[in-house]
Structure 1
Amino acid sequence: MTSINRIFASLVALMGLGLLLGGAYLLTLGGSFYYVLAGWAYLSAGVMLWRRQVCGVWLLVAVAVLSVPWALWESGTFYWALFPRLLVPAALASIGLLLLSTWSPADSRRRIRGLGVLALLGTAVFFGFAFTPHGVVSPVSGTPFTAAATNTTPSNWSAYGRTTAGTRYAPFTQINRDNVQDLKVAWTYRTGAKIQLDKGAVDSNTPLQIEDTLFTCTPDDRIAAIDADTGVERWKFDTHSASPIWNRCRGLGYYKLKEAPADGVCAERIVNSTIDARLIELDSKTGKQCPGFGSDGVVDLKQGMGDVKPGFYFQTSAPLVARDYIIISGWVVDNYSRGEPSGVIRAFDARTGALAWAWDLGNPDITGLPPAGQTYTPGTPNMWTAAAYDDQLGLIYAPLGNATPDFFGMERPPHSDEYNSSLVALDIMTGRPKWKFQTVHHDIWDYDLPSQPALVDLPDGQGGTIPGVLQTTKRGQLFLLNRATGEPIADVVEKPVPTAGAVPEEKLSPTQPYSVGMPTIGAEHLTEKKMWGATMFDQLMCRIMFKQLRYEGDFTPIGLTKALDQPGNIGGFNWGSVSYDPVNHLAYMNDIRVPNIFWLMPRDEFNTWTKTHQIEVSGHGPSPQLKTPYGQAIYIWMSSLGVPCNQPPYGTVTAVDLNTHKVAWQVPAGTTEQLGPLGIASHLPMPMGMPTYAGTMTTAGGLVFFAGYQDYYIRAYDGQSGKLVWEHELPVGASATPISYVSPTTGKQYVVISVGGAAHSPDTGDYVMAFSLPTSQP
């Protein structure tokens, strides 16, 4: 046993030396003293163990015992905060006691071994708690929840958010909280798509369901019609679209002529905006191009845009079809250069493809095609996500981003600062703005409005309703506005924010809008005590990094020194939007909690840095920001083990009560089963809560469905309590929002999800999967 003892002694001493040196450096930065003391103790214990001195073991025990009050003082009783602080000390003490029992006197050997076994069991029990959810917010006892009226009447999922209100609410009760555990796979369709990760391809498609047919699209815009009951393909159309980057199709549009033509051709149409900037209409029955739309069913969206390089402008989100119009804006390559393609919003006649109107916020006098020799204003804030629409008010709700580059605002024209990161209500007939609400002033954090607004009707307390619009943000802020006027329903105030640390050319707003009348989700203020790691060692590294970085809380400006961006520019909330239960006024949402490190570099320094480190620049990583003095670097903040430095959860599923404006419940989103240190899958389903993508879907059956986890499952939650009531393992992950419908042919309710791979996962697929109850059930 001597060799084992010495190996253990050497490991303890090396751990101690690392903690001692790292802890000493942390102290010089003004950080915690704990790591110096723990490091000195472990280094001493290692030397003593090498010499087979009993006091070395008791020193290990002392570190484990004394770490408990320190951990509780720093982080309270939150399990995930205690995990890296206590697990290693407890394990080392347990192993030390067991080794001591092998070379201790015979009369004490049994007692020490028993103590070692007890300590090891305690460590195992502590580790076992990693497999139960923590940080759960449960509803207050007795919270009312009204069951929706029984409904099994078929109706269509005819828009990206089921309707143009964007609420993702399926008003069906056949699948409900009492029987959801019986859901089984009904059919699986294979699209044949090859997910090209090198082109940024992600299957994020939310299908449409029109009567007995589903319509899907792939990241490279291949469209298919599928039998809603069997998954059998009825037709397929290849748009032959291509883009060098950012391949995705989040959804399609649907348009039905008020009067069908005599030959029936293209009476109902599927609308697709492609990744090479074309607008295509297909006959929903045959999959053939509609001859009366544009040029043989195609409209060129590059008209009036000037010179558009491949991949620099197209629509990734589903087009909005409202009245007789198709409303289009577009995605651009963020941060690559000034003067990128315009963010103009245009309406095309859904019958002919003719341009009906244009809103160019940089030049409002242009209401159609630009005059000869001109273009729409380059570089204006764009709408890359999906819009919502209220037909009664005749208003389109357009969530805008900001002018590129996102992280440097010098010389932005006034119109860009006026509209960046704003929700704008546009008149459906003219495209003229009726009101706007700005969520970030002079945005240099890439806090685009990322998601489709949800149109929600709320009780006014006097027997009537208030027309509301709920907008999520990358900041984790929820803005609840009157959708007729743009005035806040929940209080919004201006708060002071930091301005120091930006480059000298920048002129920052001294205040920013905060939605104080609504909860903030996943935007916790960071401190050294809230740094995390899988072990005490990478936690120490994260604490050192935190102390080295510039961080002043929300809206810490990007500058020439490395700074923390919290929330990062992936959220907070991203493009998945929310689902909404109109009976109980509950909004369901999923979030991301992963900060960034970002900074600017003078042009020559940036060029040298990228060349020396062989860094590939893009619009969504280190970015050149051409035509400005600075390049920009941005990275998700991780330890050297590839583990986030902020403590879990990294994503949740949350219900917000729009009556009380409070969190009704919250649960961690998914497990670590497919993730782990150094990018190696742990296969340990610890429900830590991972970053989420796509969105939730809710039903009248009292259920919330979600699949955009980092592990490979689709799950259903009780809409009242957040309790997990069903899950099904998927062949790969998903980065898409589910839908649900009742077949008009069989009367069966289905839940359908596109399964093409979780965001940032190397595992991809081409599945569309449907779930239903066994035939014997109602």
Structure 2
Amino acid sequence: MTKQQQGQARAGGATAQRPARIYPALLFLLGLVLAIGGGQLAGLGGSWYYLVTGVALLASSVLVWRGNALGGWLYALMLAWTLVWSLAEVGLDFWTLLPRLALLFVLGLWLLTPLYRRTVVCGPISAQGGKAAAGALAVAMAALVVVGLAQGDKHETKAAQALPEIQQTVVGDAPQDEWHYYGNNQGGQRFSPLEQLTPDNVQGLEVAWTYRTGDYPPSEGPNRRFEATPLKIGDSLYFCTPRNDIVALNAETGEERWRFNAQVNLRGVTGSAACRGVAYTKLPEPQPGGVCQERIYGPTVDARLLAVDAKTGQPCADFGVNGQVDLKKGMGEIIPGYYYVSSMPQVVRGKVVMGGWVSDGQMTGEPSGVIRAFDATTGAFAWAFDMGKPDFHGEPAAGEHYTRGTPNSWGPISADDQLGMVYIPTGNATPDYYAGHRTELDNKFSGSVLGINADNGKLVWNFQTTHYDVWDYDVASQPSLLDLKIRGETVPVLVQPTKRGQNFVLDRRTGKPVFDVQELPAPQGGVEDPARLSKTQPHSTGMPTFAGLDAEETYGVGEKDMWGMTMLDQLWCRIQFKKARWEGPMTPAGTDTVFFFPGSLGGSNWGSVSFDPERQIMVGNWNRVPMLLKLIDREEANRRGLKAADGSPGTSVGGAVPQEGVPYAADLKPFLSPMGAPCIAPPFALVTAVDLNTQKVIWERRSGTAEDSGVAGIRTRLPIPMGVPGLGGSITTKGGLVFVAASGEQSLRAMDLKTGDVLWKGRLPAGGNATPMTYVSRDSGRQFVVIAAGGHNLMQTQPGDYLVGYALPKAKP
């Protein structure tokens, strides 16, 4: 540079002094944070990238502050280094590259402007060189986009072949145009034989009607979750509201026909209370005047079982006491909110069978997780399965009660009338995260699926999906029943999805695995009493998992998988991950923090999976959401102001154990960055189709876009495929479609069963955290798809009280 040019540059720098000072100051602050955090990460045995980059930014900021062109060149070199490092860590994936590259590349744009060049007073500045460097980076980024598009999404599996041939024709017990059970049949297949809606015409779906329950905004207490899946019998829809009112609607118009006010007592009931559906039966014996010949059974959050006339909504007077059975009978003292029923009962062989939700926060006060059956006509007690007394099936004697604190069954249950069996998924004995006090029977029946004789309540078989569960891995999904052709033989099977992401396929007659299950070594350590851990855990090695874990690479999760919206919160997540203990899935919690993955929200939760039983295809939507878990003592709980479920000091989410010498509380929380982003790279949820003939994945797609997600409560409004967590389930149809919402995206989606492509979206007025259903209206002959849009506080989706029906437009006369 000549003296004249330097003078001109200094004059230019004087006129642009403020930008020249603000920009390097920002670089200095960013570099300081990266250097300090990067040093901490490197000290924990993590990546050195952040420390090296932080030092480079500090040096670059000083040079830019002084007007030395070397500052810009050092920054460009750092960008190139960042690009190479990012590709080496995660390859070509938009969402994982975004936090690594976006901030630094956006800041680097300033170096390409004339304003920056006017602040340079010394050093090797060259307009041509700068253009060449910028061009090289632009070409590199464009090449990344092109190669990435050509390579495809590494987290998705595209369908590589045609769907399997039809193996068998399935004929249901109910009319094809109706939906008689929560899962459309007793076995919970969530399959409809309807073919009116197809991949060719589903784009024409539009809102036909909307019904509001009136339960939002709530007039008292926290929002109740609207997760119901309606039934369709005749020309009416039946469902329950979050306050357990039972409602009948006109199936064509959505107009209310009648509403039974359950008059529930909500004292002590938390925001987790829900009503997922009702049950229906038509009694075989004629009833006087035809009253209550067809009945709707509904559960309540204040522990009652209701029966009303399907035609009128009036209570069935001959059922229990004026149409209701008190489920608190035989339970002993119940603290308000510690016991209620959130899932629909199951009607099998003239009996109404049900479990119940039991609070899992404290070691004292929890009622029993007993399973009970009542006569479908009279409501009289039929039998009980008390896991503390598995061979006694009667009611407790006067002054006694069912065994307290046993494993409970709060999810949907299934039945097989022909075999005379009912299938019960179970959770834990309380509390969730500490098992030191559990009995031998508690450990035997927790985390299991039970095959019980529907006539007398006797246990036929028990298959345990998790031994000594201290992770809240309740079996929440409804067991699904279907007949598979295996090596030329038709086998009645039960498919049991789990929160662990393991999918077990059992012979439902015996409970024996149909596809391979192996006991594999499980992580140990971290607890004072190793006797409360199992050295092995069952793994369904014969089936694909819904967990996003790869046993070949430390179960597929490591520091490089940590995420954030920017490189700063990603660095924070990486530090926290390195501080936590992670030895693979089912790392047990102790007084040190453990990385908990998959967390208690996924893989499969209560939404379960759906099937095409004719082609033997399973479709499941599942979550991959990380958490942090730590057991703490009473002193720390009190210091942090954590409260027990009954309001006394002591616990956050579950696990309070008020005894000396043992952990007092379980501190469980989502693993989120300071900006509120999950600390693991997307996708956070996927939809997967599995061919049960070959036990291979047909296709796997991200579940939902980022349109309704965001940071700090601010939505992005960007419909970019991300895979957003949610709760709820899918349904499949013979028309070749999969309908699913169950995502942070506020939409009901229709997917092509062949490919997993999203063919249509219906925007919802609130979060669709429920399972849809479908039917044909006898008035118009149109096929409807209906879903509850009530939102979910854990999913941070918009709350509401909507039931929305979609259909093709009516044909013009």
TM-score, length basis structure 1: 0.95
Structure 1 residue ranges without an equivalent (≥5): none
Change (3 A) 1:52 1:717: same
Letter in 2 for 1:497: A
For the residues of structure 1 that align with 2:609 and 2:265, how far apart are their CA atoms?
Answer: 30
Q: Which has the higher mean CA deviation after the structures are superposed, 265-274 or 523-532? A: 523-532
CA distance in 1, matches of 2:437, 2:378: 40
- DSSP-derived class of the 1:263 partner: helix
CA distance, structure 2, for counterparts of residue 668 and residue 619 of structure 1? 35
Equivalent residue number for residue 275 of structure 2 = 249
**1:564 alignment counterpart:** 595
Moved over 6 A (4+): 104-107, 120-130, 147-153, 612-620
Of residues 727-736 and 358-367 in structure 1, the stretch that sits farther from structure 2 once superposed is: 358-367
Q: Distance in 1 between matches of 2:683 and 2:301?
A: 34
1:729 aligns with 2:763: yes
Q: Is 2:17–2:119's contact at 8 Å kept on the other side of the alignment?
A: no
8 Å Cα contact 1:653-1:669 kept in structure 2: yes
Quickly say closer, same or farther: Cα 1:282–1:117, change in 2 above 3 A: farther
Equivalents in 2 of 1:571, 1:707: separation in Å? 16
Please report how far the alpha carbon of residue 92 of structure 1 lies from its aligned counterpart in structure 2 after TM superposition. 2.7
Letter in 1 for 2:78: V
- Equivalent position to 1:738, from 753, 759, 772: 772
Residues of 2 paired with 1:635 and 1:363: CA distance? 35
Query: Is 1:137 matched up with 2:169?
Result: no
1:302 maps onto 2:318 in alignment: no
CA displacement at 1:79 relative to structure 2: 3.1
Give SS of 2:716's match.
Answer: coil
For 2:77, the aligned partner's letter is A
Q: Residue 674 of structure 1 contacts residue 711 of structure 1 at CA under 8 Å; is this kept in 2?
A: yes
Task: Determine the C-alpha separation between the residues in 2 that align with 1:620 and 1:40.
Answer: 40
**Aligned equivalent of 2:617, options 586, 591, 614:** 586
1:507 equivalent in alignment to 2:532? yes
Superposition RMSD in Å: 2.8
- Secondary structure of the residue aligned to 2:781 is coil
1:479 aligns with 2:511: no
CA contact (8 A) 2:730 2:738 kept: yes
Distance 1:553 1:762, change over 3 A: closer
- 8 Å contact kept, 1:534–1:643: yes
Q: What amino acid is aligned across from residue 770 of structure 2 in structure 1?
A: A
Q: How does 1:38-77 map to 2 (within 5 A)?
A: 38-77=53-92
Give the SS at the match of 1:234. Answer: strand
The CA deviation at 1:101 is: 4.4
Q: CA deviation at 1:91?
A: 2.2
> Which runs of 5 or more residues in structure 2 are unaligned?
1-15, 550-554
Write the distance in 1 (CA, Å) between the matches of 2:345 and 2:642. 39
Match 1:400 to one of 426, 437, 445: 426
Instruction: Give the 3-state SS of the residue equivalent to 2:712 in structure 1.
Output: helix
Aligned residues of 1:168 and 1:697 also touching (Cα < 8 A): yes
Q: 2:750 aligns with which of 694, 716, 731?
A: 716
Alignment partner, residue 545 of structure 1: 576
* Change beyond 3 A, Cα 1:734–1:413: same
Q: Matched residues in 1 for 2:651 and 2:517: separation?
A: 32
Aligned to 2:247: 224
Residues 549/505 of structure 1: CA separation in 2 closer, same or farther (3 Å cut): same
1:748 aligns with 782
Check if 1:329 corresponds to 2:355: yes
Post-superposition offset of 1:286: 0.5
Flag the structure with larger Rg.
2
Q: In structure 2, give the amino acid aligned to 1:624.
A: A
- Paired position in structure 2 for 1:625: 657
C-alpha change, 1:563 and 1:393, in structure 2 (3 Å) is same
Partners of 1:627 and 1:505 lie apart in 2 by 18
CA distance in 1, matches of 2:142, 2:223: 41
The percent of aligned pairs where both chains have the same amino acid is 42
Match of 1:157 among 148, 157, 179: 179
In 1, the alpha carbon distance for the partners of 2:217 and 2:545 equals 35
Q: Distance in 2 between matches of 1:480 and 1:406?
A: 26
Q: Is the 8 A contact 1:457 1:466 kept in 2?
A: yes
- Number of the residue aligned with 1:466: 491
After superposing the two structures, state which structure 1 stretch, 408-417 or 301-310, moved more: 408-417
> Retained in 2: the 8 A contact 1:597–1:637?
yes
For residue 5 of structure 1, the aligned residue among 3, 8, 20 is 20
Partner of 1:239: 262
Report the Cα distance in structure 2 between the residues aligned to 1:280 and 1:468, rounded to whole angstroms.
32
Residue number in structure 2 paired with 1:772: 807
User: In the alignment, which residue of structure 2 is the partner of 1:654?
Assistant: 688
Deviation at 1:620, TM superposition (A): 7.0
Question: Is the 8 Å Cα contact of residues 642 and 649 (structure 2) preserved in structure 1?
Answer: no
CA contact (8 A) 1:91 1:123 kept: no
| Structure 1 position 213 matched with structure 2 position 219 | no
Q: Deviations over 1:346-382 (max 9, x none)?
A: 0000100000111112113431210111100001111
- Cα deviation, residue 154, structure 1: 4.2
Residues 570-602 of structure 1: CA deviation (Å, up to 9, x unaligned) = 222111011100122111111111121111122
Residue matched to 1:354: 380
Give the SS at the match of 1:199: coil
What SS does structure 2 have at the residue aligned with 1:591? strand
Is 2:637–2:650's contact at 8 Å kept on the other side of the alignment? no
- Cα 1:505–1:477 change in 2 (3 A) is closer
- 8 Å Cα contact 1:205-1:250 kept in structure 2: yes
Query: In 1, distance between residues paired with 2:734 and 2:162?
Result: 20
Alpha-carbon contact 1:624-1:632 (below 8 Å) kept: yes
Instruction: Tell me which residue corresponds to 2:628.
Output: 597
Q: Distance in 1 between matches of 2:228 and 2:348?
A: 20
Is residue 182 of structure 1 aligned with residue 204 of structure 2? yes
Once the two structures are superposed, the pairs formed by residues 758-769 of structure 1 within 5 Å of their partners are 758-760=792-794, 761=796, 763-769=798-804
Query: Is the CA contact 1:16–1:40 (under 8 Å) kept in the aligned structure 2?
Result: yes
The answer to whether the 8 Å contact 1:476/1:573 transfers is yes
Equivalent pairs counted in the alignment come to 776
**Residue 139 to residue 617, structure 1, CA distance change in 2 (3 Å):** farther
Conserved? CA contact 2:542–2:695, under 8 Å: yes
Amino acid at match of 1:206: T
Letter in 2 for 1:764: P
What amino acid does structure 2 have at the position aligned with 1:776? Answer: A
Change in Cα spacing, 1:222 to 1:627, as seen in structure 2 (3 Å) is farther
Which residue in the other structure is 2:638 paired with?
Answer: 607
Distance 2:704 2:793 in 1: 13
Describe the SS at the equivalent of 1:236.
strand
Change in CA separation of 1:58 and 1:110 when aligned onto 2, cut-off 3 Å: closer
1:612-659 deviations in Å (ceiling 9; x for gaps)? 999997987265234573222111111111111111111111111111
Aligned counterpart, 2:315: 289
Counterparts of 1:719 and 1:11, CA distance in 2: 50
CA separation in 2, counterparts of 1:438 and 1:164?
Answer: 22
TM-score (norm 2): 0.91
CA 395–73 in structure 1, closer or farther in 2 if over 3 Å, else same: same
Paired residues of 1:656 and 1:663 also in contact (CA < 8 A): yes
How many Å apart are 1:492 and its aligned residue?
A: 0.5
Alpha-carbon separation, structure 2, partners of 1:303 and 1:102 = 84
1:492 corresponds to which of 517, 522, 526 = 517
- Correspondence for 1:90: 105
Aligned to 1:29: 44
Counterpart-to-counterpart distance in 1, 2:25 and 2:531 = 53
